Structure 1
Amino acid sequence: MNKHNPQFDFAGFGIDSDALKSEDEQLINQFKDAEKERENIFPVNVFPLPIQQIILSTNESLSFPIDFIGASLLFASSVAIGNTHKVEIKNGFQESAVLYLAIVARAGTNKSHPLTFALNPLVEQDKISYRQYEQERLDYEQVVNLSKKEKEKQAIDGPIKPVWRKFLLSDFTPEALAEVHKFNKRGIGVYVDELAGWFKNFNRYNKGSEMEFWLSAWNSKPINIDRKTGEPVFIPLPFISVAGTIQNGLLNELAKNSRTQNGFIDRILFVIPDNIQKPYWSETELNPIIEKNWKAIISSLMNLPINLDETFSPIPEVLRFTPQAKELLFDWQRNNADQCNDAEFEAISGIYSKLEMYVVRLALILEMMRWACNEGDKQFVGIESMQGAIQLIEYFKKSAVKAYSIISNINPLDKFSSDKHALFNALPDTFKTEEGLKLAINMGIPERTFKRFLNEQELFNRRSRGEYEKII
């Protein structure tokens, strides 16, 4: 049983544990076989085992694409963690669990349902808090309507107007969002089913200011809104995560209004599966324990206390990296910095730069997930979470390059000669330097030219020393 939630049961799912283990192994093997056909594989293995089971089971029974449900669980966990925890890289350098996430695919490919599933425990909590708010509002109105004499007789002071403390918003202005956040200091999540509508309306009320709002919110910079009507709003430590869906054909909308130049797009984690298809319905029923276990996991995170200082501002609990995890993080950062410096396109460099913040945020989320699944004690961010975050960030890096190609309406291969086109197409999805060099020489391309070609980061990703994989 899970020490954080007595209703939490991973062990048997109500059936024989040996049978469950066999079914899990079969499901994982089927998933691995299917993934061999793809170039950019969402790394399910980075999650705690109970969450892997949720991802694979919903994929099998509800036809949720692996990438979509995996990313959706990350987003829901981000919102549930909120301002309760941060991670520290070194003194004065901390990151929260804030994510901006875009699930990208054409219509009919099951984009929205995984987010709905992942967010359902948060929605249920909002329903409960709304019922409580309604009752408090009725009580408040009854007191307000009492005469002065009746209030004195009942010894009632001026009543406090109730507020609805909720986790999720969908339709709002920055001012309304800040008003909600003022009363929910642990943080909020923005879920927009159609992201295109979200950023198209950025300048609907105040030209230019909403874009600046979201750029700042990503960095958790204080929100300070002075209003013509009503009281000003000040949020010293905002926590606002955003997720939504968008069709491939609408990605070009992101490039408008200088969003490729001001760093807005760099802040978005894109989820773009390879060769996504509309799925067939599955006759396999989802075991109710799967949904129950996800509710238990997310409830453990939602129930984390939020510490406040004397000004009622959040004081997140700060986790630090173990020495091994920190060494791995710094090694990865040095390699990523080299890629930023070597990138031919400024936009690609910007994307890679923001991923340095995201790799830390994802490590924090994975560590908190491990705690909620009884696989960690959240004293530090350990090596497993750091390794998992790096695998996730490499997935998101390839997806970002793909999104950039769509947004820019370019193919990175277009700038190369026909012989390099032919070489790229002839290379396998993953290959060793010697293997690729042999193929290049057979096609009349010199060794020096081939090795320069391998440095094109829009085309190739170096997996390890002497081993590469194609990105597009």
Structure 2
Amino acid sequence: MKSIENDKTELGKAHLTYGKLSLEEANVRLKQEGESEFPLSIFPRFIQNTILELYDNGNYNIDYTAVSILTALAGIIGNSYHLRKHIEWIENPSMWVVLVGKSGQNKSAPLKTAFKAVKNQQKQFDKEYEAAVANFDPDAGDKKPIKRKLYSTDPTFEALINMHKQNPNGMILMPDEFKSFILNLIGYSGTSKQSQFLSIWDGAPISLDRKEVESSSLSMPCVSIIGSIQDDVIASFKAKDIKDGFFERILFAIPLKMEKKYIQRKNPDDYMVEKFHTRMKALMDKVYENMGTIELSLSETAEVLFIDEVNKHVKPSNKDATISGILSKLDRYILRFALILEVSNSFFEGQPIKHITMDSMKKAIMLKDYFYVNALKLNNMVLNVYEDNSKEGKVLQVIKKIGKKEFTNKEFIQMADHMGIAKESYAYQLLSNTKLAHKVQKGVYETEILN
């Protein structure tokens, strides 16, 4: 019989490329080569197969699908499980995620697929609520029906807290326009809203006491957020970052290739995709059997692995403030990833959930590495597109050439064009987002770099 090592098939090539891995594992890596660096092995086999099927025959990006599914798992688990590192350090599984790409890169389809079970359950809750309202009789002493929400697209902060109170397990935010959502948080009046969301990410108790709204409190907020945005837009927002750690709390899915794909004539396998939805629904049903919170601890081997990994972050953090901000949040995300993977993988594999195992911690660290690389990619986008912090940056070159502490936007645009650096619209975009000059009045900017 001909040896598989000499086989010219895809499986044979994968075996030659990746050596001692099983052919199935090697085939997964071969499909991902040059397309994605997401560690698919963190998932059970049926999820891996679903992601690759959608990639092969559905025009789905591997990163977008994998990260969307991971976030859906986080949203489903919610407050049903927490991880207690020690008496003062408890993590819920919430994730804040942004899918970054070019326009037309099919970012919405993976979100739709990943959250189908959640949205179907929401439809069921809506039907139950409508039936309860139709049968509601206050004269008979009936309690007013409560509308239970699992997710929302664009709530006010007060509405989010009140919806969360009706669904203590947690909320998922999926803004239709993620650009508007972030702009609302970091705009001129967004600082207070931003700080409120920072408290939610931390899982800290929330209390709203205002004259214009009914007082409301939430002891255990657990809110996952996911949306998509174009690369140049998120880079412009990051350039305006007020350095309070908001952007460091966001996990970015940035594919190796940000490009539109050709549509395949073959459709994804219906049975495989439906099996995925069915199993996600089963996990959701299991979570809602018990609306309390179960706290898991790290196994001894998982704790050793976690401490070793976090300690590796100390030196690079001490050398660079930007790196420090990214890694400090990823240290906490490691625990969240481990929690999500332990609960979901144990359920799908029919295993009891006792504590966070070393296997889940290893996979969590793989995820940390993936999101760390993407955080650095985003920082490079800011430098490459807006170049505010680069010594050879376009903004700096233009301002130095103008040679005045105070200048108009017209002078900047004309000089940028004269130097061959940027045409009108791009030049104005550079100026609008730079940190090297600030607007003192309409059309007039001031800089300190010439002092």
Sort the TM-score into its range (normalised by shorter chain): 0.7 to 0.9
2:197 equivalent in structure 1: 214
1:295 equivalent in structure 2: 277
Letter in 2 for 1:296: T
Asked whether the equivalents of residues 191 and 244 of structure 1 are also in contact (C-alpha less than 8 Å), the reply is yes
1:386 equivalent in structure 2: 361
1:352 equivalent in structure 2: 327
Q: Which moved more, 1:328-337 or 1:74-83?
A: 328-337
Decide which of 363, 383, 394 is 2:338's aligned counterpart. Answer: 363
List aligned pairs for 1:207-286, cutoff 5 A. Answer: 207-229=190-212, 231-255=214-238, 259-286=241-268
Decide which of 327, 343, 367 is 2:304's aligned counterpart. Answer: 327
CA distance in 1, matches of 2:24, 2:267: 14
- Other structure's SS at 1:164 match: coil
- 1:122-159 Cα deviation digits (max 9, x unpaired): 0000001001111111222xx25xxxxxx4xxxx22x3
1:321 to partner: Cα distance: 1.6
Letter in 2 for 1:62: G
For structure 2, the 5+ residue unaligned runs are 1-21, 393-451
- 1:157-183 Cα deviation digits (max 9, x unpaired): 2x3221211211001100111111110
1:270 to partner: Cα distance: 0.4
CA distance in 2, matches of 1:166, 1:128: 11
Quickly say closer, same or farther: Cα 1:162–1:408, change in 2 above 3 A. farther
Decide which of 175, 182, 187 is 2:170's aligned counterpart. Answer: 187
- 1:40-89 Cα deviation digits (max 9, x unpaired): 61111121112111111111121211111000001100110010001122
Aligned residues: 371
1:342 to partner: Cα distance: 2.5
Asked if residue 162 in structure 1 is aligned to residue 139 in structure 2, the reply is no
Q: Relative contact order (C-alpha < 8 Å, sep 6+): which is higher? A: 1
Quickly say closer, same or farther: Cα 1:31–1:282, change in 2 above 3 A. farther
Decide which of 363, 366, 370 is 1:395's aligned counterpart. Answer: 370
2:180 equivalent in structure 1: 197
Letter in 1 for 2:184: N
1:352 to partner: Cα distance: 1.2
CA distance in 2, matches of 1:224, 1:306: 26
- Other structure's SS at 1:325 match: helix
Compute the TM-score of the two structures, normalised by the length of structure 2: 0.76
- Other structure's SS at 2:243 match: coil
Letter in 2 for 1:35: Q
CA distance in 2, matches of 1:296, 1:201: 36
1:206 to partner: Cα distance: 6.3
- Other structure's SS at 2:211 match: coil
For structure 1, the 5+ residue unaligned runs are 1-24, 145-150, 309-313, 417-472
- Other structure's SS at 1:89 match: strand
Decide which of 28, 33, 39 is 2:30's aligned counterpart. Answer: 33
- Other structure's SS at 2:313 match: helix
Aligned-pair identity in percent equals: 28
Asked whether the equivalents of residues 300 and 372 of structure 1 are also in contact (C-alpha less than 8 Å), the reply is no
CA distance in 1, matches of 2:30, 2:174: 33
CA distance in 2, matches of 1:316, 1:241: 17
Asked if residue 86 in structure 1 is aligned to residue 82 in structure 2, the reply is yes
CA distance in 1, matches of 2:389, 2:382: 16
CA distance in 2, matches of 1:279, 1:58: 13
Decide which of 98, 102, 106 is 2:98's aligned counterpart. Answer: 102
Asked whether the equivalents of residues 72 and 115 of structure 1 are also in contact (C-alpha less than 8 Å), the reply is yes
Compute the TM-score of the two structures, normalised by the length of structure 1: 0.73
Asked if residue 51 in structure 1 is aligned to residue 33 in structure 2, the reply is no
CA distance in 2, matches of 1:265, 1:43: 23
